[in-house]
Chain A
Amino acid sequence: DAGITQSPRHKVTETGTPVTLRCHQTENHRYMYWYRQDPGHGLRLIHYSYGVKDTDKGEVSDGYSVSRSKTEDFLLTLESATSSQTSVYFCAISDKAASGNTIYFGEGSWLTVV
């Protein structure tokens, strides 16, 4: 198993509250990603990072922010959670920008916004 730990694994929160999901890796990979998985949509990229303090937006970045102050940690923050952000969130890492088969996923974080 790739050394990826997501926390929390499950969370229920109220609309309007801030939420932070953490992704921690022990592989020293340069690239880190946050995806969300929703029925009928597959996996959609929220934000990604290509190095410490280097991040960029993905396909569905509205309402989310990220930070990467250390190689091993990539944080996803929902500033004010909404019900539409109820989803399963997957962190992923890769050591090569150009090679899709070296993208490894974490086990997921289930977030419910009520």
Chain B
Amino acid sequence: DQQVKQNSPSLSVQEGRISILNCDYTNSMFDYFLWYKKYPAEGPTFLISISSIKDKNEDGRFTVFLNKSAKHLSLHIVPSQPGDSAVYFCAARLISSGSARQLTFGSGTQLTVLP
């Protein structure tokens, strides 16, 4: 049973418009959420994160929103650029998972930004 779900495997957006990627989770013990970006033939790279005590975090064109009551987070990219085309993974971290905190990843959303 997946605890972190990205229900949209793909998303296409026109350049300059807003991209909204969604992520749902089921475990209320997650205390930190992250988005990773992955280009083909490369490893994932960290993009932006948010603590469970906040509802919004912004970094340039990227904003992550967290709705704890709905167990939902979203990543907004404004304006979208062709270079943003990649797979985006949502990840969540448990409050306590032993000596090394582990991340639980969603299945990813392929974003394609059309020129």
The CB with the most chain B CB atoms within 10 A, among A98, A102, A106, is that of: A98
Interface residues contributed by chain A, number (CB under 8 Å) = 31
A100-B91 in contact given A90-B43, A107-B43 (Cβ < 8 Å):
yes
Is B106 a contact partner of A97 (Cβ separation < 8 A)? Answer: no
Report whether B43 and A98 are in contact in the complex, using a CB–CB cutoff of 8 Å. no
- A-B interface pairs (CB < 8 A), number: 68
Q: Are A107 and B107 in contact (CB under 8 A)?
A: no
B102 within 8 A of A: yes
Q: What is the interface of chain A mostly: helix, strand, loop, or mixed?
A: strand
The contact sample of 30 A-B pairs, CB cut-off 8 A, is: A4-B43, A33-B102, A35-B105, A39-B107, A40-B9, A42-B4, A42-B6, A42-B108, A43-B44, A43-B89, A43-B91, A43-B103, A48-B100, A50-B99, A54-B99, A56-B98, A56-B100, A58-B102, A90-B43, A90-B44, A92-B43, A97-B99, A97-B100, A103-B46, A103-B103, A104-B43, A104-B46, A105-B44, A107-B43, A108-B41
